[in-house]
Amino acid sequence: MDGSPPKLLTDDIDLNGITRTFAVAAKQVYALNDVSLHCEAGSFTALIGPSGCGKSTLLRIIAGLERPDAGTALIGGQTPAQKCRTGALGVAFQDSALLPWRTVRQNIALPLQILKRFTPQGHDKIDRLIELVGLEGFENARPAQLSGGMRQRVAIARTLVTDPSVLLMDEPFGALDQILRRSMNIELQRIWMEKRATTLLVTHGIDEALFLADRVVVMHRDPGRIAQIVAIPFARPRLPELFSSPQFHQLEDEIAAHFYGAATA
C-alpha cells in the first residue's frame, strides 16, 4: 500500500415513500409499498426478509436500475441516475455477471473503462484489489477457469475499483458454501472497515446480517414493507468467535422471530 489512503468519500442513502408495483397475470402486486429508510453516511445496513418481500427491488431502485412508481431515492442528495455516472455506486449482484471473454484483471477494469477513467495507474490499483480479495496468481485467468467463490471475489473487487461511496450488495455470497461464506464475511468486514463506504447488503442469512451490519432491517411481503429495524451493538472488528457467543444467538433468535413472524403471517 502507498502512503496516501483512498479518500473517504461517503454519502447517505435516503428513501422516501418508495412504492413499486408489478402486473402479474393482470393483477397488481405491490413489490414495495411506501418504504422509507435512511442510511447514515458510512453505515452498514443489512436487509433481510422472505423471498418476494421486495428487498432486491429496493436495491435495484437505489442502484438506478429500476424506477419507483412513487417516492424518491436520493444518494448524498442526488438521484441514482446522477450519482451512478460519477462512479459513486458499487453494485455486487447475486451472480458475478463477469464477461466470459475478459480476464480477471480486465473484468475488474470494466467500470473504469465505462466511466472513461482508466489510466496507467489503474493497473496498480487493480493489482492491489486482486491482492485485497486474495486472487494473486489468477490475474489473467478467465471466469470459466475460476470457482464460484473466486468469481464472486472478482465481482467484489470490481465493485471497489471506482472507490465507491456507496456499496450495494444483492446476496453476493448466496451461491457460496457456508465455510467460504464465513471467510468472505470476514473479508468483507475487513474491506469495509478500510473503505468505510455506506453499505446496503441484501441477504437471506441472519448470521451474515448480524455479523456485518450496524443494523438489520427486516422486511415483510404482500405488500413489501419494513417490519422491524434492529440495531446491532457489537464492536468492530468483529471476530469469528462472535458467531458462537450467547449475545449473538440471542439477537439471532430475536430477528428470526420477526422474520418468521412474516413468513407465517
Tell whether residue 29 is a contact of other proteins (CB under 8 A).
no
Could you say which of 101, 178, 193, 263 contacts other proteins (CB under 8 A)?
A: 101
Q: Does 113 bind other proteins (CB under 8 A)?
A: yes
What is the radius of gyration, based on Cα positions, of the chain? 18
> Does 54 sit near other proteins (CB under 8 A)?
no
Does the CA dihedral 25-49-59-125 come out positive or negative?
negative
Among residues 4, 257, 225, 264, the alpha carbon closest in space to that of 128 is found at 4
Interaction of residue 85 with other proteins, rule CB under 8 A:
yes
Counting contacts by CB under 8 A, is residue 110 touching other proteins? Answer: yes
Strands 13-24 and 225-231: unpaired
Cell numbers standing for residue 45: 445496513
φ, ψ dihedrals at 77, nearest 5°:
85, 0
- In sequence order, which residues have a C-beta less than 8 Å from that of residue 250 and are 6 or more positions away? none
Binding test (CB under 8 A) with other proteins, winner from 17, 67, 69, 114: 114
Nine-digit cell string for 58: 429496493
Sequential DSSP letters for 211-259: HH-SEEEEEETTTTEEEEEEE----SSPPGGGGGSHHHHHHHHHHHHHH
Q: How far is the CB of 233 from other proteins (least distance, A)?
A: 32
Q: How far is the CB of 170 from other proteins (least distance, A)?
A: 10
Please, which residue, 106 or 228, has the CB nearer to other proteins?
A: 106
Find the binding residues for other proteins in span 168-187 (CB under 8 A). 168
Per-residue binding letters, 131-150, with other proteins (x by CB under 8 A): -----------xxx------
Any contact of residue 63 with other proteins (CB under 8 A)?
yes
Interaction of residue 77 with other proteins, rule CB under 8 A: no
Name the minimum Å distance from CB 250 to other proteins.
Answer: 37
Contacts with other proteins, residue ranges (CB under 8 A)? 60, 63-65, 81, 84-87, 89, 91, 93, 95-101, 110-111, 113-115, 142-144, 151, 158, 162, 168
